[in-house]
Structure 1
Amino acid sequence: MSRKKCRRLPLVSALATGLFLLNTSISMAEIPELSLDDSIAMALKNNPSIQMAIADKEKAAWGIKENEAGKLPTLSLMSGYNRSPGSSSPTDSFNNSLKLNWSLYTGGRVEGQINQAKLNADVASLGVTKAQEQLKLDTTTAYYNVLQGHNVVKVNQETVDNLTQHLKNVKAQYQVGTIAKSDLLRSEVELANAEQNLTKAQNNYDVAVASFNNMTGMPMDSQNIMKDDLTYVKYDMSLEDSIKMAQEKRPEIAQSKDNLAIATTGIKIADSGRLPTVAVSANDGLSGSDFPGQNNNWSIGVSASWNIFDAGVTNSKVKEAKANEDKVKAGDQQIRQGIELEVRQAYLSMKEAEARIETSKVAVSKAAEDLKASQAKYYAGVGTNIDVIDAQMALTQANTNATQASYDYNVNKAKLEKAAGLGVK
Structure 2
Amino acid sequence: MVVAGSVAAQKLTKQEAIRLTLENNYGILIATNTIETAKNNKGILNSGYLPTLTANAGANYQETSTTTSFPGATIRVPVEGTMDSITRPRPDIEILGAETQRYNASLNLNYTLFDGLGRYYNYKRLKEQYNLTELQARETIENTLLQLFTVYYEVARLTENEQILEETLRISKERVTRSNYQFEYGQNTKLNVLNAEVDVANDSINLITTRQQLVNTKRDLNVIVDNELEKQFSVDTIVKFISRLEMDSYIEKSIENNVTLLQNESNIRISDYDIKVSKSGYLPTIGLNGSYGWNENRNPPSAFFPGNIGDTYTLAAGVSLSWNLFDGGGTITRVKNAKIALDNQELAKLQVEQQVKRDIANALGNYENRLKVYEIQQQNVVTNQNNFERSKERFKLGQITSIEFRQAQINLINAKTNKNLAKYDAKLAELQLLQLTGQLLNIEF
TM score, norm. by length of structure 1: 0.81
Q: Work out whether residues 121 and 273 of structure 2, in 8 Å CA contact, stay in contact via their aligned partners in 1.
A: yes
Q: 1:378 and 1:351 mapped to 2: Cα distance? A: 40
Q: 1:126 and 1:331 mapped to 2: Cα distance? A: 17
Q: Which residue of 2 aligns with 1:162?
A: 171
Q: 1:27 and 1:71 mapped to 2: Cα distance? A: 59
Greater C-alpha Rg: 2
Q: Which residue of 1 aligns with 2:252?
A: 244
Residue from 113, 122, 132 that aligns with 2:122: 113
1:275 to partner: Cα distance: 2.4
Residue from 349, 355, 370 that aligns with 1:353: 370
Secondary structure of the 1:287 match is strand
- Check 1:345–1:196 CA distance in 2 against 1; reply closer, same or farther (3 A cut): farther
Q: Which residue of 2 aligns with 1:285?
A: 293
Q: Work out whether residues 243 and 340 of structure 1, in 8 Å CA contact, stay in contact via their aligned partners in 2.
A: no
In structure 1, list runs of 5 or more residues that go unmatched.
Answer: 1-21
Higher helix residue share: 1
Higher strand residue share: 2
Q: Which residue of 1 aligns with 2:306?
A: none
Residue from 279, 282, 295 that aligns with 1:274: 282
The alignment of Structure 1 onto Structure 2 pairs a total of residues equal to: 402
Counterpart of 1:402, as a letter, is: K
Q: Which residue of 2 aligns with 1:44?
A: 22
- Check 1:263–1:381 CA distance in 2 against 1; reply closer, same or farther (3 A cut): same
Q: Which residue of 2 aligns with 1:209?
A: 218
Residue from 152, 171, 190 that aligns with 2:161: 152
Counterpart of 2:52, as a letter, is: T
Q: Which residue of 2 aligns with 1:95?
A: 104
Q: Work out whether residues 147 and 230 of structure 1, in 8 Å CA contact, stay in contact via their aligned partners in 2.
A: no
Percentage of pairs with the same residue: 24
- Check 1:103–1:350 CA distance in 2 against 1; reply closer, same or farther (3 A cut): same
Secondary structure of the 2:219 match is helix
The C-alpha deviation readout for 1:333-369, integer Å capped at 9, x for no partner, is 3443443344333322221121112221232233234
1:205 to partner: Cα distance: 2.3
- Check 1:382–1:28 CA distance in 2 against 1; reply closer, same or farther (3 A cut): closer
Secondary structure of the 2:113 match is strand
Residue from 198, 206, 211 that aligns with 1:189: 198
Q: Which residue of 2 aligns with 1:10?
A: none
Counterpart of 1:78, as a letter, is: N
Q: Which residue of 2 aligns with 1:81?
A: 59
Secondary structure of the 1:421 match is coil
User: Are positions 1:408 and 2:386 aligned together?
Assistant: no
1:49 to partner: Cα distance: 4.3
Q: 2:199 and 2:423 mapped to 1: Cα distance? A: 27
The C-alpha deviation readout for 1:138-163, integer Å capped at 9, x for no partner, is 44444433321211111222222222
- Check 1:64–1:24 CA distance in 2 against 1; reply closer, same or farther (3 A cut): closer
Greater CA deviation, 145-154 or 252-261?
A: 252-261
Greater CA deviation, 300-309 or 140-149?
A: 140-149
- Check 1:247–1:302 CA distance in 2 against 1; reply closer, same or farther (3 A cut): same
The C-alpha deviation readout for 1:59-116, integer Å capped at 9, x for no partner, is 2222122565412221111123345676724644333222111111111221121111
Counterpart of 2:55, as a letter, is: L
Secondary structure of the 1:236 match is helix
Secondary structure of the 1:162 match is helix
Q: Work out whether residues 230 and 410 of structure 1, in 8 Å CA contact, stay in contact via their aligned partners in 2.
A: yes
Q: 1:233 and 1:264 mapped to 2: Cα distance? A: 40
In structure 2, list runs of 5 or more residues that go unmatched.
Answer: 67-97, 300-308
TM score, norm. by length of structure 2: 0.78
Greater CA deviation, 243-252 or 84-93?
A: 84-93
